[in-house]
């Protein structure tokens, strides 16, 4: 996820526009800003690129998830189904609203298992949150059918999958809401930032107001605006949005380079009979930010991961023992370690995560290695990496 690899004159020009105006805030100061409205410009361009009617920029991907959930009316005691393999932001955003994360198994897509999702639905379930980890997607048709059947919101966390598609639609645009991250190591970066897309006008208005203290944004006098409901501060700055405008213009080139480098690595590993690859639902195309593959056993996978590091092959991840991306490392969630009191609904409803059986997820994650795909590699570096990975893994097997 290489936005940080290609920071250049385009970003500097956009940021300089903001610095010369002196207006770093996205709202107000109309006469000073030389008609530069970077957040508005980025929102318009991103919505168009993502085939969505509305876009709301916010301060991070975590903020995007929080605001998206709030915009759809998710609150205290509402249950949100999410996968065991994701980033901690998924459950953080749910807990921030007093809602209850319900963790369920993944399958070979490395995302939500639709069968596990349907089995977890209760009278308090309000939302299904598939997380398109490492650039690829859940079975969105199956999840959409479940959400329609049970009248649930389908919220796509596409923070790691910008540029991927499903049946011709950009990931994030298939559900009721889609969320993206523009942090420093995402496909494109604002330094820090996030976005929500939707075709639902009500959710769009709610997102716009909630992320700015509940301001209605009617008129040109910020002090005279009313507050239809409570909100918080999840605003993006003009500086961050300016970087995003330049980065968005580079997205197609990024995706093309990722796919080229991904293909070289995959073709090399495909020559090893014991290596298999994550499942991509029919009609889906990854954004090729990671190459994720399976080895036959947990023991062999651990050995291969260690051997790859010793061979100098960097940026290969073994998520099963990672503190941030898999349930095995989430002791603070399992035991609700918090600086203050946790919402009573969460205490009463959260599943016993220390004793829940996630053996199906374990069977997948314990055999998974993901190689980051960089676009700064030269052609020789990519081929050298492919050969090193192939040789190292074959030796372990």
Task: Tell me if 227 sits within 8 A of 212, measured CB to CB.
Answer: no
Distance CA 49, CA 37 (A): 18
How many Cβ atoms from other residues are within 10 Å of residue 163's Cβ?
25
Task: Tell me if 102 sits within 8 A of 120, measured CB to CB.
Answer: yes
Distance CA 298, CA 228 (A): 53
Cα separations in angstroms, 120 against 3, 79, 110, 202, 347: 37, 10, 18, 28, 18
Q: What is the three-class DSSP state of 375?
A: coil
Q: What is the three-class DSSP state of 296?
A: coil
Residues 5-43 as b/e (b if ≥16 CB within 10 A, e otherwise) read: ebbeeebeebbebbeebebeebeeeeeebeebbbbebbb
Q: Which of 126, 144, 169, 186 is labelled catalytic?
A: 186
Tell me the torsion sign for CA atoms 332, 334, 335, 340: positive
Task: Tell me if 49 sits within 8 A of 251, measured CB to CB.
Answer: yes
Q: Supply φ then ψ for residue 138, to 5 degrees.
A: -80, 170
Close Cβ partners of 273 (under 8 Å, ≥ 6 residues apart) = none
Q: Known catalytic residue: 144?
A: no
Cα separations in angstroms, 389 against 110, 278, 312, 379, 397: 21, 17, 10, 15, 12
The H or E element spanning position 102 is strand 100-104
- Dihedral angle over CA of 36, 37, 38, 42, nearest 10: -130
The H or E element spanning position 155 is strand 153-157
Q: Supply φ then ψ for residue 373, to 5 degrees.
A: -110, 120
**Structure tokens belonging to residue 374:** 């960089």
Q: Tell me which residues are annotated as active site.
A: 186
């Amino acid at each position: 996820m290489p936005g940080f690899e290609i920071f250049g004159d385009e970003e500097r020009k956009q940021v300089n526009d903001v610095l010369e105006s002196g207006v770093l805030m996205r709202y107000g100061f109309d006469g000073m800003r030389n008609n530069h409205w970077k957040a508005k410009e980025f929102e318009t361009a991103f919505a168009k690129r993502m085939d969505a009617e509305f876009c709301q920029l916010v301060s991070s991907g975590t903020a995007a998830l929080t605001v998206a959930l709030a915009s759809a009316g998710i609150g205290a005691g509402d249950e949100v189904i999410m996968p065991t393999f994701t980033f901690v932001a998924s459950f953080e955003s749910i807990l921030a609203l007093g809602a209850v994360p319900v963790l369920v198994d993944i399958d070979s897509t490395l995302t939500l298992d639709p069968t596990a999702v349907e089995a977890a639905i209760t009278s308090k379930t309000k939302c299904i949150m598939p997380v398109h980890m490492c650039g690829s997607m859940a079975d969105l048709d199956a999840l959409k059918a479940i959400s329609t059947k049970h009248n649930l919101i389908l919220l796509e966390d596409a923070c790691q999958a910008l540029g991927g598609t499903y049946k011709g639609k950009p990931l994030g645009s298939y559900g009721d809401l889609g969320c993206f991250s523009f942090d420093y190591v995402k496909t494109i970066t604002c330094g820090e930032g996030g976005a929500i897309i939707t075709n639902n006008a009500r959710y769009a208005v709610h997102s716009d107001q909630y992320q700015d203290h509940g301001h209605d944004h009617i008129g040109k006098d910020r002090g005279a605006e009313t507050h239809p409901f409570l909100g918080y501060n999840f605003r993006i700055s003009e500086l961050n949005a300016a970087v995003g405008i330049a980065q968005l213009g580079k997205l197609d080139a990024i995706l093309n380079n990722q796919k080229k480098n991904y293909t070289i690595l995959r073709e090399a590993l495909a020559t090893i009979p014991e290596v298999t690859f994550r499942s991509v639902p029919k009609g889906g195309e990854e954004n090729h930010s990671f190459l994720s593959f399976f080895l036959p056993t947990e023991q062999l996978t651990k050995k291969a991961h260690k051997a790859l590091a010793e061979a100098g092959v960097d940026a290969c991840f073994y998520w099963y023992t990672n503190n941030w991306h898999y349930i095995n490392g989430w002791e603070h969630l399992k035991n609700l370690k918090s600086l203050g009191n946790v919402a009573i609904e969460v205490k009463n409803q959260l599943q016993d995560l220390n004793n829940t059986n996630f053996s199906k997820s374990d069977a997948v994650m314990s055999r998974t290695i993901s190689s980051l795909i960089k676009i700064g590699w030269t052609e020789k570096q990519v081929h050298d990496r492919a050969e090193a990975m192939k040789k190292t893994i074959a030796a372990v097997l």
